[in-house]
Amino acid sequence: MSKNNKQTSSEIAAKAAATLADPNASAIAKSLAGSALAQASTGRQTGAEMEDKASRVLKSPKYSDETKELAGSVLAQSNKNR
């Protein structure tokens, strides 16, 4: 299985941290933020379940641009062979 070596940028990591600290952030936004932060400065990849969640966020019109930005970051770090 090939490995994706991309990591969360410092800009996205800062947004993810702010999302996790925001009491008004949605559960999905916090989930994506946690995944993005877990991949900052590590070699970890997005899991299949989180890939699916991020994909659904990007396809839905109901999520904010900030949530979609986190979803895009999470998907960019997924396993390309999956």
Kindly report, residue by residue over 23-32, the tens digit of the pLDDT. 999 999 999 9
Q: Report domain extents, the chain.
A: 10-76
Nearest one of 79, 71, 80, 78 to 12, comparing CA atoms: 71
pLDDT digits (tens, 9 = 90+) for 70-81: 999 999 888 766
Q: List Cβ neighbours of 26 (8 Å cut-off, separation of 6 or more).
A: 67
Q: Residue 10 carries which DSSP code?
A: H
Global pTM reads: 0.84
Residue 80 backbone phi and psi in degrees, to 5: -70, -15
Residue 38: per-residue pLDDT: 87
CA separation for the pair 70, 42 (Å, rounded): 17
Q: Is 26 helix (H, G, I), strand (E, B) or coil?
A: coil
pLDDT tens profile 7-49: 788 899 999 999 999 999 999 999 999 999 888 877 677 888 9
